[in-house]
Structure 1
């Protein structure tokens, strides 16, 4: 029989061994995640459109190196590279000798498949497109074992700098490594990083087009109407700001106002007559007014 002292010594040694390997395991996991988190230090951008002109500088500000810029418009590629610290202009889609390990396709949706077919990448490179409507699988034409999507849910323009800090970024990856890399990159850009598969992203993109693109197109039409009164779009700024604020605070159904929701048919008819010289806008007005009547009039109780 072992003495109590020996039993205590054995137990103590056993506990020490468990603690040692537990700490060692945590250290290994910690350093693994640190390695993954800093693995992407250099990024190449394919594309010179509105998103590329905003994304490339934002990546540099987040601590990444933008190594190369490729664009079919060589002048635009030189202009974008000139705005960055050390980016060079890439003349072809052969990136086989690039030192970068993440390649972002910030290009038109319809060009992704064609570019993917022509793209030559280093071994084990991660490649991601930025489209809201195209699926992850469109990158299957590349030879990369790591494909993904990094989709910023925002409108971008070359002439106006847009920050990323509050922009939702939707990510998708074909494997755990790719998802980790894209999550790390997106997390350095934004406080809102969301996982979304291709189906979810397409639906969100559709909603974004309805909410943002169509609203802007209607503002363009409103601007043209205002010119007939010798006014400009600035007069609508307080109205638009209040409309958006109220819609997000109360919900669109509670926030809807105007002649259609009141069932004021005389006003609607007058407006349609005023738009007689603009048949396309007149039809848009008619369809939207009918939608509001069908969707909101009964709830308004007017």
Structure 2
């Protein structure tokens, strides 16, 4: 199945998704960006793709229109975009409901949410990108499933409420985990220590967590009720009240979980 697609957005998701779709055999007809320079930059990476800085797609031959922008921008774009008859409009948000697209001119709407963190400078295989799908139309849902199959991506039919729960869980699992590593790096830098010392520990912890499950993989002073070490660490971190509070709060959360 070959689809004609237009992508609305020039950020990380749009950057990766447009290339992946083209590599899977689909045709990317247009890239929209408020900043025409960014739209041109993305379009130039694709084959025969036009860049535009307006939302009038009435003359487009695309069948699928993908809104890949920040959550804040989706409602205004959905309301303003002009689409050809019979088109499908989807957004890629993890938190916004399907009905946010109800004010659009699209005949069919859906959600095509890639559950992965994207960075323009880092390549990734879409075989490692599960998609959460939703639509009130069976044929649209079938089209989105075929699209995911062409990308060799896992696809799950998930309702908006469930998708929001998954998105919140993903923030804890990925975004917060990354921030913890950032804080660890800042502690090492403050003492002029090489962060690479921690690399094997981080890798082993993540592998163990995925293999054993987070509950069984938990180690450290909080799970051991090592109050002396906890207090010693807290005193060490008093140079930064916010960091000390994060340490205290997370340690308490680990202790509380153990007692449940």
The residue number in structure 2 matching 1:89 is 51
Partner of 1:260, secondary structure, is coil
- CA drift of 1:237 comes to 2.1
Q: How far is the alpha carbon of 1:91 from its aligned partner?
A: 2.3
- Determine the structure 2 residue equivalent to 1:276: 238
1:134 aligns with 2:96: yes
1:99 aligns with: 61
Q: Give the conservation status (yes or no) of the 8 Å contact 1:49–1:106.
A: yes
Q: Is the contact made by 2:3 and 2:26 (CA closer than 8 Å) also made in structure 1?
A: yes
Aligned residue for 2:138? 176
Secondary structure of the 2:37 match is: helix
Question: Once the two structures are superposed, what CA deviation does each residue of 1:131-163 show, in whole Å capped at 9, x if it has no partner?
Answer: 010000001111112100001110000111222
Q: Report which stretch shifted further, 203-212 or 271-280.
A: 271-280
Structure 1 length as normaliser, TM-score? 0.83
User: 161-170 vs 253-262, which deviates more?
Assistant: 161-170
Q: Which moved more, 1:71-80 or 1:128-137?
A: 71-80
Question: Residue 39 of structure 2 contacts residue 53 of structure 2 at CA under 8 Å; is this kept in 1?
Answer: no
**C-alpha distance in structure 1 between counterparts of 2:151 and 2:206, whole Å:** 25
1:223 to 185, 188, 204: 185
1:53 matched to 2:44: no
Query: 1:119 aligned to 2:81?
Result: yes
One of 201, 213, 224 as aligned partner of 2:163: 201
SS of 2:239's equivalent?
coil
Q: Which whole-Å CA distance do the structure 1 matches of 2:197 and 2:26 have between them?
A: 42
Provide Cα deviations, 1:90-149, integer angstroms capped at 9, x if missing partner. 120000000100000001011110101100000010010000100000011111121000
Q: 1:51 to 1:232 in 2, by over 3 A?
A: farther
Distance 2:33 2:79 in 1: 16
Distance 1:224 1:126 in 2: 46
Give the superposition deviation at 1:232.
3.7
The question of 1:77 aligning with 2:46 is answered: no
Find the structure with the greater CA-based Rg.
1
Shift of 1:273: 1.1
Task: Report how many aligned residue pairs link the two structures.
Answer: 260
CA distance in 2, matches of 1:212, 1:44: 29
Supply the RMSD in Å over aligned alpha carbons: 1.3
Measured against aligned partners, the alpha-carbon deviations of 1:223-274 in whole angstroms (never above 9, x if no partner) come to 1101023224332222122111111211111110001111111111111111
- Whether 2:126 is the aligned partner of 1:164: answer yes
Partner of 2:222: 260
1:26-47 Cα shifts (integer Å, max 9, x gaps): xxxxxxxxxxxx3x52100000
State the partner residue of 2:205. 243
Counterpart secondary structure, 2:164 = helix
Structure 2: which 5+ runs fail to align? none
Structure number having the greater helix percentage:
1
| Deviation digits for residues 176-219 of structure 1 (CA, Å, limit 9, x no counterpart) | 11101111111111341111011111110010001111111111
